[in-house]
Structure 1
Amino acid sequence: MVDLRPGTSTTPYSKEQEERAAAILQRKERMEKRELIKQTKMLALLEEQEAKKNQMEEELKKEQEEKMAAIQEEVEKEEEEDEEVEEEEPLERRRGEAITSKEIEIAKIAQEWAAHLELGEDREAEMAIPEEERSSKETN
């Protein structure tokens, strides 16, 4: 009840109207509360999705780094093997000026064989001459 002037008073709402207004306000508060809960749940879901996305990106990045490290190790290992092979080759061979020691050794062996063959042919020829002389004497 509100006093307007001395001696007059009025009530802005009837009891029924106040109850209806209170019910409307309660419904509005419940709807706002539900909306707030809904928004909170949506925000939590979005944050969870963002966290999962970040975790997956980190895992992918880590996996890529591991693969790159493995590739780098493989490349370094191949380079080391290539360096070892280069160190084994004589300096002249790398410049293309001389042949390797294996090739020299093979050439020496071939020359020895050729010399032995020539000696063998010479001996055969020497032995063939007396044999021819004997056969010619025997036929006479």
Structure 2
Amino acid sequence: MVEIRSGLDTSPYSKERQEKMTALVKENRERKEREKQAKLKAIAEEQAAKMKEIEEEMERKKKVVKEEVAAEEEKERMKIESREGSSGTKRDTGAEMEKKISDWVANLLLGEDEEAQMYVPPEEKEAFAKTLGLIKDPLERQEAEEEKRLEWKLRLKREQKKRREEANRLTAEVEKVRPCRQEVQAQTNMSAKMDKMLGYLEVLSEAWLKARHAN
């Protein structure tokens, strides 16, 4: 007599083997999740380091611009005080007063010219000197010199204004991203934390590039 077995195997070995397979699948899933979280953590730490580096660079840039603006404002203040201090006394005669005013104006213009020429490239100065050498008429040469000095002074004023605006812009950018660390740390979900961090990194990177291009 032939014994016919059912297709359903209910032996203890089969059940034990199935449990082991289930455990292996679960272990592999957990291992992959740990690896994924470890990679996300490494990326987050790298992005956080970049954000900190860019923020520190912007802080340094802001400090330099503020110091330059403060120095320029101090120069202006000293010029005003010099003008007020050289106004003369009651004992000065009209001629002495006129001479003092002329000297003060000359010194003031000389200082402004020297400061303005700091922003003029050497090749531009050399080209202008050659142009002056070709002008024979003294009056025409003087007019050309005055016109060029005025142009350079206007350039200086624009540069000073640009630096003040740059300082204000950098201050606004830094203040905008200050809450970044608190917001990132408040996120418990790693994906949400990465999205928040990448968003602030983009803002910082854009501000940093603008600061670099401004130079």
Q: TM-score, normalised on structure 1?
A: 0.53
Of residues 45-54 and 25-34 in structure 1, the stretch that sits farther from structure 2 once superposed is 45-54
Question: 1:101 pairs with 92, 96, 101, which one?
Answer: 96
Q: Deviations over 1:50-83 (max 9, x none)?
A: 2211221111111111100000011112222222
Tell which has more relative contact order, 1 or 2 (C-alpha 8 A, sep 6+). Answer: 2
Matches within 5 A, 1:35-114: 35-92=33-90, 101-103=96-98
Deviations 1:86-109 (A, max 9, x none): 2222145xxxxx9562449xxxxx
AA matched with 2:80: D
Alignment map for 1:115-134 (pairs within 5 Å): none
Task: Tell me the equivalent position of 2:13.
Answer: 15
Percent identity over the alignment is 27
Residue matched to 1:30: 28
For 2:95 and 2:11, the matched residues in 1 are separated by: 116
Q: Which runs of 5+ in 1 are unaligned?
A: 1-11, 93-97, 105-140
With structure 2 as the length reference, what TM-score do the two structures score? 0.36
Q: Of the two, which has the highest radius of gyration?
A: 1
Aligned residues, how many? Answer: 88
Unaligned runs of 5+ in 2: 1-9, 100-215
Of Structure 1 and Structure 2, the greater strand share is in 1
